């Protein structure tokens, strides 16, 4: 079956949302938010803050592997840190060559590295030598920095360095997140290298996924904002791949999962952050579900977590689902 990978999204797709989305299903693997590496060997606790799943076999509670992602520009420092995090029990290490954030790019990280294919090669080569052979070194890139003229050259550098998988976000750094995604350019890369490729960018529904696969020539896809907006997207795509038809994930289906999400947020985050974290996800969900708009409107000015607790209790009563609680293993994260 084609692989469906959950994207890294800084400030959004953390361990809590990874837990919920992998419980809903259809995801084969996750990549964590980036862990910034500068000039030091980070302690294990730094990795556990971003990827607490490392203390639980490197998987979410649903059993889906989570691959830590490192961001930096020094080959030797990245190699040292990759060796350390690989030794903590993950299935591999991912390298970030796609982040478009100005603060990251100013320091020569993320998508800025796509201006220097030789440095890409040196980074991947150093990390590949440092990570045990049975663990994957994967990479995530964009089509380029200001333009896509060096897209193939960059992918070739990653392959020659030893990357076992390359995710291609089908836009340049200059494109940011503006549609469209140029999936056909991934096909150009695919024609030039043999390393497995994963198509990413602007996949909001199964129709987008089918078109991305057709234009890129890649069956494996990475889902980001699309699956945050429609948490059942992975499961719908998996059903499509199996040649079956199935109902979309409804708002009623999502209610217990949303409640579970809130329960874990309450356990993990500081009180002042809790309501905002819920509203952040509702803001995405309302693109797909009108009921999420109503929920967002109801909670928009609410800051007191106790008031949110009361709102969820009422929703559970009206929808007829049992109140949920977070599993102890998740609370330990």
17-66 pLDDT, tens digit per residue, is: 999 999 999 999 999 999 999 999 999 999 999 999 999 999 999 999 99
Q: From the CA atom positions of the chain, what is the Rg in Å?
A: 20
* Number of domains the chain is built from: 2
CATH of the domain at 147: 3.20.20.70
Of 17, 60, 4, nearest in space to 203 by CA:
4
What separation, in Å, do the N-terminal and C-terminal C-alpha atoms of the chain show?
A: 31
Within-domain flag for 246: no
Three-state DSSP class for residue 191: helix
* Same domain as 97, residue 52: yes
Which is catalytic among the residues 30, 77, 90, 99?
A: 99
Clarify whether 99 is annotated catalytic: yes
Confirm if 131 and 88 have CB atoms less than 8 A apart.
no
299-329 pLDDT tens trace:
999 999 999 999 999 988 888 776 665 554 4
What pTM did the predictor assign? 0.94
* Same domain as 271, residue 194: no
Look at residue 284 in the predicted model and tell me its pLDDT.
98
* Same domain as 258, residue 122: no
Residue 134 and residue 146: Cα distance in Å, rounded? 36
Range of the domain at 223: 4-241
* Same domain as 315, residue 292: yes
């Amino acid at each position: 079956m084609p692989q469906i990978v959950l994207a890294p999204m800084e400030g959004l797709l953390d361990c809590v949302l990874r837990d919920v989305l992998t419980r809903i299903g259809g995801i084969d693997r996750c990549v964590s938010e980036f862990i910034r590496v500068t000039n030091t060997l980070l302690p294990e606790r730094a990795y556990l803050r971003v990827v607490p799943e490392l203390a639980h076999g490197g998987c979410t509670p649903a059993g889906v592997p989570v691959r830590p992602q490192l961001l930096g520009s020094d080959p030797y420092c990245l190699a040292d840190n990759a060796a350390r995090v690989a030794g903590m029990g993950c299935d591999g290490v991912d390298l970030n060559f796609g982040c478009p954030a100005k603060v990251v790019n100013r320091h020569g990280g993320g998508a800025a590295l796509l201006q220097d294919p030789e440095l890409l090669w040196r980074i991947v080569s150093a990390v590949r030598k440092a990570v045990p052979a049975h663990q994957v070194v994967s990479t995530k890139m964009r089509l380029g920095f200001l333009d896509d003229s060096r897209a193939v050259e960059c992918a070739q550098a990653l392959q020659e360095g030893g990357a076992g998988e390359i995710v291609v976000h089908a836009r340049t750094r200059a494109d940011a997140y503006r549609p469209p995604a140029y999936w056909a350019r991934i096909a150009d890369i695919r024609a030039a290298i043999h390393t497995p490729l994963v198509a990413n960018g602007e996949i909001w529904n199964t129709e987008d996924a089918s078109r991305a696969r057709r234009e890129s020539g890649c069956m494996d896809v990475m889902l980001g904002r699309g699956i945050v907006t429609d948490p059942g997207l992975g499961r719908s795509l998996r059903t499509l791949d199996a040649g079956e038809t199935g109902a979309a994930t409804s708002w009623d289906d999502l209610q217990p999962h949303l409640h579970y999400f809130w329960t874990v947020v309450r356990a993990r985050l500081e009180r002042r952050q809790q309501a905002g974290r819920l509203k952040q996800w509702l803001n995405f969900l309302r693109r797909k579900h009108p009921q999420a708009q109503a929920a967002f409107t109801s909670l928009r000015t609410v800051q007191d977590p106790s008031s949110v607790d009361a709102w969820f209790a009422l929703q559970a009563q009206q929808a007829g689902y049992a109140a949920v609680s977070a599993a102890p293993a998740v609370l330990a994260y």
